[in-house]
Copies of this chain bind each other. A is one copy, B any other.
Amino acid sequence: MPVGTQATVKSLSPGDLLAAGTQIILGNTYHLSLRPGHERIARLGGLHRFMGWDGPILTDSGGFQVFSLAHLGRVDDDGVTFASHLDGSPQRLTPERAIEIQEALGSDVAMAFDQLVDPGRPPDAVEAAMRRTHAWAERCLAARSRADQALFGIVQGGVDPDLRRASVAAIAGLPFDGIAIGGLSVGESKAEMAATLDVVADALADDSRVRYLMGVGSPADFFTAVERGVDLFDCVLPTRVARNGQVWTDAGRLNLRNARFLDDPGPIDPGCACEACRNHSRAYLAHLFRAEELLAYRLASVHNVTYTLDLMRRIRSALADGTYASLRDVVTEQYASTGSGSGKPPITDR
């Protein structure tokens, strides 16, 4: 899912998203409730009509942003008090309120309100946040009133296998329409992410619901997660790194700000059929980035979103025709170099 934080995937139009093969996008409850306001969006016909996107939309619950972007006030068993990052105004989010906002936005998939904790916190803090997340999950289910909106629960528990197993048992035991895996891609190592996904995959082995890994990922991360049964992802990386000039290709990462591209007449990626690759050269993009022209951000974003969705399609094909391992090895090698652009994205962008 390309991420449309403020009711737009940065620099892209709905037409660009369709041309890139986008099937579903993500909207941010926290941002939209503060600006332009979910009541306003509801009055204007809901988020789909507001942003001109007819396809499916998943909204997050606001939990991630409240615990990372807002100026956190007080967390209690009922909910969270915080100050808006826009104007410092006092705000309150509870499980019931998170559902109310998402129902006003009218997304196709809503997310339960969870408590995020830094994986570096002491085990008892991670466990306390997990137990609160479980209690809030039940309240979210009780609060929902729209029959036309799916609701996904979120598994927490940090990188502790026992806590993760306990969290899967609690969340998967509830009548959610899908299961999300939260609390990863927040600073833990790649090995910890993989080990945690192993635990979750085992615990969900007999569960047929869709599995969504939140906040992931980079090209290599997709393989780590797909092998462990993940179906759905969201990440700002493709568009965020694009705005810095980094494009993802079958030759690995390229930075179009590099002087060597100023005379390169070839497309960003010869195998790509996106608007940028069809119509423009690396030399043109390199010029646009140096001239700080807005078209640079858009064309690089079009390409990276196309690359990402194409990669997922190639993964599905490779699984079907038995070539998955070779695809994984090639792409993982291409994206194993340093300067990855993966890791924790800036909080304001997520």
Contact = CB atoms under 8 A, between A and B. Distances in A.
Interface of A: 6-8, 10-15, 35-36, 40, 43-45, 50-52, 262-263, 265, 275, 279-281, 283-284, 286-288, 290-291, 293-295, 297-299
Given A40-B263, A263-B44, A294-B294, A280 B52 contact: yes
Given A13-B299, A52-B280, 16 more contacts: A6-B287, A8-B295, A10-B294, A10-B295, A13-B295, A14-B279, A35-B291, A36-B287, A36-B290, A43-B263, A44-B265, A44-B281, A44-B283, A50-B283, A294-B294, A294-B297
Contacts of A280: 52
Nearest to A7: B287
A263 B40 CA distance: 7
Contacts of A294: 10-11, 294, 297-298
A51 B13 contact: no
Nearest to A243: B294
A281 B13 contact: no
A7 B280 CA distance: 12
A51 B265 CA distance: 12
Contacts of A15: 275, 279
23 contacts: A6-B287, A6-B288, A6-B291, A7-B284, A8-B288, A12-B295, A13-B275, A13-B279, A13-B295, A13-B298, A35-B290, A36-B262, A36-B286, A36-B287, A40-B263, A43-B263, A44-B263, A44-B265, A44-B281, A45-B265, A50-B284, A50-B287, A52-B280
A168 B6 CA distance: 55
Contacts of A52: 279-280, 284
* SS of A interface (majority): helix
A6 B6 CA distance: 29
A295 B263 contact: no
Nearest to A283: B44
Contacts of A10: 293-295
> Which 6 pairs, one residue from A and one from B, show the smallest C-beta to C-beta distance?
A11-B294, A52-B279, A36-B287, A6-B291, A8-B295, A8-B293
A309 to B, nearest CB: 19
Nearest to A292: B6
Nearest to A291: B6
A155 to B, nearest CB: 32
Contacts of A290: 35-36
Contacts of A45: 265
Nearest to A6: B291
Nearest to A280: B52
A239 to B, nearest CB: 10
A288 B32 CA distance: 12
A54 B275 CA distance: 15
Contacts of A288: 6-8
A265 B44 CA distance: 6
Contacts of A298: 11, 13, 294, 298
